Structure 1
Amino acid sequence: MKMIIILLLGYLLGSIPSGVWIGRLFFQKDIRKYGSGNSGTTNTFRVLGKTAGVSVLIMDILKGTLATSLPLLLHSDLPKLWVGLAAILGHTFPIFANFKGGKAVATSAGMLLGYSPLFFVYSAAIFAIFLLITSTVSLSSMISAVLITLSTFILPFIAPMILPEFDWLLSVLAICITAFIFYRHKDNIKRIKDGTENRVPFGLRKDDKKKSEK
């Protein structure tokens, strides 16, 4: 029963719709009616601005981190990653926002932070590098998810200081989350192929879209 309660708490933490609540409270907007219609960090940046975007990013990461830490905080033997996964499902299908949520990237990062802070830093560095190279959040998220998944198999053997031991549960969840991230980005993939995907205003390819429009 205790394990079920912890998993439920993890889901409820993940279900906190940061973008929706911040949009309604401070901007009187339902972010799901603007931009991509997504309630996650990227659309928040695009629709509500930097301050709101950073706030949602931090909140979404912390949801995953706190949920993953619940077994430790509540003295349970339940694997941390299961509760982190519950938070990811809550973020994607939030009960507090009619089950219409984000794409799970930030909350997945929060799960990694709760699981292994050093591996989180490593993963965040991968994302940052590809964001600078591509200037595209969606593409960077998908590439990073693949590389992070591969890293769960490789790092324990070549860089144990980052990931000390192979954890089959981490690798299996990484594969599942990566597949889910690709599924949630199916519209973005189409826009990337068409050359119409939005780019951030920094990085090596920030001006590509502007040039194509001239």
Structure 2
Amino acid sequence: MIIALVVTIFLGYLLGSISFSYLLAKHLRKIDIRTSGSGNAGATNTLRVLGVGPAITVLVLDILKGVVPVWVALLWVGESSPVIPALAGLAAIIGHNWPVFFHFRGGKGVATTIGVLATLLFYPSFIAGCIAIISIVVTRYVSLGSLLFGIMTPVMAWCLLPFRFYPYEYIFLSMLLMIVSLWRHRENVSRLLSGTENKIGKKQM
């Protein structure tokens, strides 16, 4: 189990550290995505700076960064040691936020968090995702949808416990990720409260 823990955490962090938004921006426009648009190395800023196609590519790849290490851990140890897939997923998110390959300057980890939680807590994350998507469609604030996803996933996991048991390690992970999301989005929260947050569809250069 120790070997599985070390290998899956190591894999999760290294995979998470691959910044696809940075690599695509460098390849397509010869720019650093972290100094363009909002400055965030993620799918939303890729949409603003590079357009729809690259943004979808980054979104899918960033989600897979969360899915792959969790599935590797699950295939290795199954549900017998739920802490191992939980930590593998956490390592991928840490890698995305603080990537070793890019001087520890990464994104906010939303898409990778979606990949992790959708794998471990499918129904709670699905409900939270629907709420988040509706909020984005109505308000056009991606940051609001990201925050709602992070908050509602652990809430839904607790609410669904009488109907579908999830390992408490997964629920505690979702609570930790909610705190991380709030911290990483603290500037977005300030702008949301002041009404100055950027809306999706507003292209930045």
TM-score by length of 1: 0.85
Alpha carbons of 1:154 and 1:67: their partners in 2 closer, same or farther (altered >3 Å)?
A: same
Q: 2:38 aligns to what SS in structure 1?
A: coil
Give yes or no for contact 2:124–2:153 (8 Å, CA) kept in 1. Answer: no
Contact 1:9 1:67 in 2 (8 A): yes
Unmatched 5+ residue regions in structure 2?
A: none
Are the aligned partners of 2:110 and 2:146 in contact in 1 as well (CA < 8 Å)? yes
Verify: 1:18 aligned to 2:23, yes or no: no
> Can you list the C-alpha shifts for 1:49-88, whole angstroms capped at 9, x where unaligned?
1111111000000000001111134457653111011101
Q: CA RMSD in A?
A: 1.8
Worse-matched range after superposition: 40-49 or 117-126 = 117-126
Write out per-residue CA displacement over residues 87-127 of structure 1, whole angstroms, 9 at most, x where no aligned residue.
Answer: 01111111111101111111010002322444443332222
What CA distance in whole angstroms lies between the structure 2 residues aligned with 1:22 and 1:136? 24
Counterpart residue number, 1:194: 194
For residues 104 and 157 of structure 2, the distance between their equivalents in structure 1, rounded to whole angstroms, comes to: 30
The structure, 1 or 2, with the larger RCO (C-alpha pairs under 8 Å, 6+ apart) is 2
Listed as ranges, the matches of 1:54-69 within 5 Å are: 54-69=56-71
Give how far 1:192 is off: 1.3
- Identify if the C-alpha distance between structure 1 residues 122 and 34 changes in structure 2 by more than 3 Å, giving closer, same or farther: same
* Identity of matched residues, %: 35
Unaligned runs of 5+ in 1: 207-214
**Separation in 2 of the partners of 1:181 and 1:100?**
16
Please name the residue that 2:39 is paired with.
Answer: 37
Match of residue 96 from structure 1:
101
Greater gyration radius: 1
Tell me the equivalent position of 1:212.
Answer: none
For normalisation by structure 2, the TM-score amounts to 0.88
Change (3 A) 1:166 1:118: closer
Alignment of 1:1-214 (within 5 A): 2=3, 3-74=5-76, 78=81, 79-157=84-162, 160=163, 164-201=164-201
Rounded to whole Å, the distance in 2 between the matches of 1:129 and 1:42 is 16
Give the number of equivalent residue pairs.
197
2:125·2:153 contact (CA, 8 Å) conserved in 1? no
- Partner of 1:21, secondary structure, is helix
Partner letter of residue 13 of structure 2? Y
Contact persistence 1:134–1:140 (CA under 8 A): no
Q: In 1, distance between residues paired with 2:139 and 2:16?
A: 29
Kept in 2, the 8 Å contact 1:66–1:114? The answer is: no
